[in-house]
Every structure is written in structure tokens, then in C-alpha cells.
Amino acid sequence: MNLNNLLGDMTQLLRSSLSKKAVVELRFDPELPMIEGDSSQLWQVAMNLLLNASEALDGQPGTITLSTMRMEATSAELADFLSVQPLPTGTYVLLEVEDSGRGMTPDVLARIFDPFFSTKAKGRGLGLSAVMGIVQAHGGGIAVRSTPGAGTTFRIVIPACLAVGAAPAAVPATVAANAAQPAAQKVVLVAEDENDIRKVVVLTLRSAGYEVIAAENGRVAVEQFSKRANDISMALLDVEMPEMNGEEAFRAIHAIRPDLPIVVMTGYGDVSAHARFKDLQPAHILAKPFTRSHLLAAVSGVCQRGKLPAAG
């Protein structure tokens, strides 16, 4: 796809959602290379960044600049971008969203990609964590710089397709690196009834190379597990879910395959969950809110060793 076309269509539709006092500037590279990706997911990425930029203006006059350009990236330039694996040098498409808004303090900037973190009065702050997961799942990376009172700039790179029908120049090395990881051979079942949380967990794990099967409740998780019981390496189960809760799903899955490592995700505190699941012996208890690094460390540790300490 051509990212310029996707962004041009979106900005026209979003004008009514952005601050009426915002001046939106479009700076599109007319010679932008094609990229390979999911247009609906990349739409979500750009939409989230534009809406965040609009909110950062706090209703005051300001500018939001949306830019694209071809980037012949060096290792030093790519080191600034957060990615699953170090990004290989090559040709990328760069998307940049810059605002002249309030900016962020270093403390806030350090936490913006954590699931559950938010500076807003409402919501769980899952947007930027989902953005990172989508970008990394496309073999790319994301970087941000911000200064209090001087605005914020998000930069995203995605490998370019230099010829129609050809694989993106930078993807083979990324895919090869991911394939070399143990994660590439692991299938993880995730059961979580909160749609936003489930989406972030799934994107995070997929961006790290895991195959993920998602379920919106315990009943669906057991149904999915019964279909691929021998393929699944581990399961993550939320404690409270409709139709069948985490405890019931845990017992049903272990009735099919008693040796499967299962991680329990809970917002009620690990001590409470440990007492509730004591006889079931979960591989790990992951207390909400957790960060991306906590999630990946828990899953990696359980996949490699079978169990981790219960406290999480």
C-alpha cells in the first residue's frame, strides 16, 4: 500500500474530531515507497497519534504536522526506535506526527507505552501500547521525543517494499531474527474479557514472535484449547470473566492436559489470587497493572522453564 493514500483519506474524515483550533499541516513525500501491512491496523496507529496530538493542544491554538518520507536508515538512526529486534539498515517509510502542545515530563515519557498507564481522567491508557504492538508486528519501530511546553513528536518506521511483489528490504533480517527465537515455536492461549486489554496482550506477544490464540472468556478459551491441545505451549487466563471464570477455565484445561503451564492475570492482588489458585499451582501470577516488559518476561520464563515464582 501507499501510506500517503491511507493518511490522506483519514485526515479528511478526522477533521471533525480534531481540535477546531488546530492547524493541520500535511507534508507527504511524493516519491514514498510502498509498504506491506494491514491497512486497518495502520489506520488505527495514525488515528491514535493524531487524536493524542489534538488533545495535547488543550483547546489552545496550535499546529499538528503529519509527515511521511523515504528514509535510508543507518544503524545509528535506527537505534532510537523501540523494536522487538535491532532494526537492520535499509529503506524505510517514516511517519511523523508532531504537535505544538503541552509536551510531556520525563517521568510521563518513560511510561507512555506501558499498558494501563494514562494521564487522562478516563480510560486505561491502552492506546500507545497498542500502537507499539502494531508497529512492531509490522517489523518496524517507534520513537518519541517531547519537552514540557514545547510539544511532542512521534516517529514510526516501517520497512519499504522496493518492488511490487518483492519482499520488503528490511523484513527478511527481522523475520530471520524472530524465527531464531524460542518464541517463534510457541503458541500462547490468551483469555481476557476486556477487549482493550486482550488486544494489547495479543499484539505484544505477536510482536515478540509468539503465535497467539485469543479468547474473550473462559468458555471460548476451553473450546479453543480443546482444538489445539497438543500445540499450545502455555495459557494466560484472567481471573474474572463472564460465562466461565479463570478458575473454572483453569480446571477445564488441566482436565484435558494437566501439564500445561498456566499464568493467571489478576487485578485483585497476587496474594488473593495465590490463595484462590493455591491447589491449582499456576505457573505464574501476573498482577495488573503490568508493563510490556513484565508480560514478556513472564511468558518467556514460563515457556522456557515451565514455572516462575508466583508473585508478579
| The pLDDT value given to residue 309 | 47
Assigned domain for 175 exists: no
* Contacts for 74 with CB less than 8 Å, ≥ 6 apart: 89
| The pLDDT value given to residue 310 | 45
Distance CA 280, CA 42 (A): 41
| The pLDDT value given to residue 181 | 42
Assigned domain for 161 exists: yes
Higher pLDDT, 63 or 197: 63
- Taking the CA of residue 179 as centre, how many other CA atoms within 13 Å lie in the half-sphere pointing to its CB? 6
| The pLDDT value given to residue 147 | 92
Mean pLDDT of the chain: 82
| The pLDDT value given to residue 269 | 52
Q: What tens digit of pLDDT does each residue of 101-122 get?
A: 999 999 888 888 877 666 664 4
82 and 185 share a domain? no
Choose the final residue of a domain: 170, 190, 208.
170
Assigned domain for 312 exists: no
33 and 121 share a domain? yes
Q: What is the CATH number of the domain that holds 122?
A: 3.30.565.10
Assigned domain for 82 exists: yes
Taking the alpha carbons at both ends of the chain, their separation in whole angstroms is 42
| The pLDDT value given to residue 288 | 79
Assigned domain for 311 exists: no
Assigned domain for 113 exists: yes
148 and 190 share a domain? no
The lowest-confidence range among 37-41, 171-175, 201-205, 231-235 is 171-175
- pLDDT band for 125, please (50, 70, 90 cuts): very low
Q: What tens digit of pLDDT does each residue of 34-89 get?
A: 999 888 788 888 888 998 899 999 889 999 999 999 999 999 999 999 987 889 99
126 and 14 share a domain? yes
Q: What percentage of the chain carries pLDDT values higher than 70?
A: 82
- pLDDT band for 153, please (50, 70, 90 cuts): very high
Q: What is the CATH number of the domain that holds 267?
A: 3.40.50.2300
33 and 129 share a domain? yes
24 and 74 share a domain? yes
Assigned domain for 192 exists: yes
Predicted model pTM: 0.61
150 and 212 share a domain? no
With 60 as the cut, is the pLDDT of residue 173 above it? no
Residue 278 structural domain? 181-305
List beta partners, residue 118: none
162 and 196 share a domain? no
199 and 84 share a domain? no
Task: Tell me what the mean pLDDT of segment 127-149 comes to.
Answer: 89
22 and 166 share a domain? yes
What is the number of domains present in the chain?
2
Choose the final residue of a domain: 135, 170, 205.
170
Instruction: At 310, list the grid cell.
Output: 508466583
| The pLDDT value given to residue 124 | 45
85 and 119 share a domain? yes
188 and 78 share a domain? no
Choose the final residue of a domain: 117, 141, 170.
170
Task: Tell me what the mean pLDDT of segment 175-189 comes to.
Answer: 57
- pLDDT band for 196, please (50, 70, 90 cuts): confident
Give the Å distances, CA to CA, from 145 to 46, 108, 155, 282: 17, 12, 9, 40
Question: At 142, is the secondary structure helix, strand, or coil?
Answer: strand
Q: What percentage of the chain carries pLDDT values higher than 90?
A: 43
Assigned domain for 176 exists: no
Q: What tens digit of pLDDT does each residue of 246-283 get?
A: 999 999 999 999 999 999 998 765 445 666 676 788 88
